[in-house]
Structure 1
Amino acid sequence: MEYFGEEIGSCAGGAYFTLELRGSRARILLMDAENYQAYLDEEEYDFYGGFWESSPVTLDVPYDGFWYLVIDSYRGRIKYWLDGPFD
């Protein structure tokens, strides 16, 4: 499995990520720690996000927690930043 994964860490609900993509479409997943581990183990998992073909892409952090950002099915450059309330 080829992917870009980034440990975002603790984020407050209401924060949001903005991503700029340069290249092809991307599958962008925002997952809590439990679902990220399931993703790595190739088990069933839940995520916030989906496929995007253009940018910018904005993903909301749905609740307080420890988060991971995963981008797969993508060949290109990625730039992202976190906005909003922080823990």
Structure 2
Amino acid sequence: MNFLHNDLGFLNSGAVVEVSLDHAANVRLMDAGNFQSYRQGGQHQFFGGEARRSPIRLRVPQSGHWHVAIDLGGRAGTIRAGVRVFS
């Protein structure tokens, strides 16, 4: 699976992750364990989902190491995205 990845490092609970997209895509905010499962094609839990408008803002639910993955859900094409974190 093709996806864009941003390793956000350690974030505190309540931080806001803002993802700007050039068109609709799936945006997944995941902890390290779930990201590893996602990369391997396994079951995983995430915050977010299909983003039809931009930017999308996701609140970090608990302190820890976080990742953002952006994909087109198997559709053909490319996407450009920007990721910012607000404390």
What TM-score, normalized by structure 2, do the two folds share? 0.89
> 1:4, 1:11 → 2: CA distance?
19
> 2:78, 2:32 → 1: CA distance?
25
2:53 is aligned to 54
Greater strand proportion? 1
Gaps of 5+ in 2: none
Q: SS where residue 76 of structure 1 aligns?
A: coil
1:9 is aligned to 9
> 2:40, 2:83 → 1: CA distance?
26
Deviations 1:30-83 (A, max 9, x none): 000110111111111100110011111101100000001100107332122100
1:71 is aligned to 70
Compute the RMSD of aligned alpha carbons. Answer: 1.2
Structure 1 runs, 4 residues or longer, greater than 4 Å off: none
1:18 is aligned to 18
> 2:19, 2:7 → 1: CA distance?
15
> 1:77, 1:42 → 2: CA distance?
22
What TM-score, normalized by structure 1, do the two folds share? 0.89
Identity value in percent: 31
Deviations 1:6-35 (A, max 9, x none): 11110000001112211x311000000110
Q: Does 1:83 align with 2:86?
A: yes
Q: SS where residue 34 of structure 1 aligns?
A: helix
One-letter amino acid matched to 1:43: G
Equivalent pairs counted in the alignment come to: 83
Q: SS where residue 54 of structure 2 aligns?
A: coil
